Amino acid sequence: MLQKKDGRYEVYGNPITERQTRAADQWKAMLAKKFNYDPNEKFNLTVEDHPYDSGIFGLKNIVRDGNGKPLDKTNGVIVSTIRMGFGHYRIAMAGVSAAKAMGFTPYWLDLLGIPGISTDVINWCNTNYSKYSRISQRYPWFDKYVWESLTTGEPTLPGLDALFNYMTSTWPWRFLKTEVKDYKMSELFNNLYGALPSDMPTLTSHMWTAMGAVAGGMTNVVDMMFDNWPMAFNSPKAPSTRFNLRQAITVSVPCADLMTKAKSSSPRQPTRSSSPVITLTMNSLRTSKSIALTA
């Protein structure tokens, strides 16, 4: 997946430059220093009934240093999300609902609900995003020439366009250099995910949760497609979404793997897919390898 060869990171054989590699490493190092990252930090994770959805979905909440019970991976599925806008929760709750309907016990992991560096880093990133979003609402010129370009990838003024293309922290849906930068940042979450069973099926609703899970050694991760940007090689939620999804299904995913009929198998014995393509169904969690940072 992500490897470093001859001073350059590459993803499945696709390299970025040495300068971009250094920028990705420096980004991680800056955040590690800023938030006092401890590579030996231990996370004591337990589970308790979710305060809102335990009655409906049997949802369990993963907490740190709590007085709950140990996590039982026998028939469980982790749903990892970030409390950073309703969109992330919405798709995560869809995963919870699907898991419950198929007979699994869903475990809720909100990175902003676990004290530690993940909370510090994500809050900092989200605060900065919100800051510039508010500036874009206040100053039309900033919105037109800066924010629109940064958030859509559309061309802007020639000088700014050249600068944005040069920078590492721009357009994660267009540049591999930014995907690598985000993955290096997500490596700071490895101690959190390393405290979970490495082979436990995990659904994620944000690229950072998927990347962090993979960095933490988890091997059964499915990053659900959603959001306004195709971040981490996701599919965009835009006017063209239906066409894009239909194309993806037509090209690579057999329809039989996307839909598991209720009568085809017992909820506790989901049908195993014979397709090598990783799908967004719960049975794929039993057979797939991690797909964060995959094309």
- Between CA 122 and CA 128 the distance in angstroms is 10
Q: What is the pLDDT of residue 250?
A: 41
Q: Which amino acid is at 142?
A: F
Taking the CA atoms of the chain, what radius of gyration do you get in angstroms? 20
Q: What is the pLDDT of residue 226?
A: 56
Round the average pLDDT of the chain to a whole number and report it: 78
Q: What is the pLDDT of residue 83?
A: 83
Q: What is the pLDDT of residue 276?
A: 29
Burial class for 102, CB neighbours closer than 10 Å (0-12, 13-18, 19+): buried
The domain ranges of the chain are: 45-116+185-287
pTM of the model: 0.75
Q: What is the pLDDT of residue 265?
A: 36
- Between CA 119 and CA 199 the distance in angstroms is 24
Q: What is the pLDDT of residue 129?
A: 87
Q: What is the pLDDT of residue 87?
A: 78
Query: How is the beta sheet containing 14-15 ordered, strand by strand?
Result: 2-5, 8-11, 14-15
- Between CA 248 and CA 251 the distance in angstroms is 5
Handedness of CA 212, 218, 219, 221 (dihedral sign): negative
List, for the chain, all residue ranges whose pLDDT scores fall below the cut of 70: 53, 170-173, 225-295
- Displacement of CA 97 from its chain's centroid (Å): 19
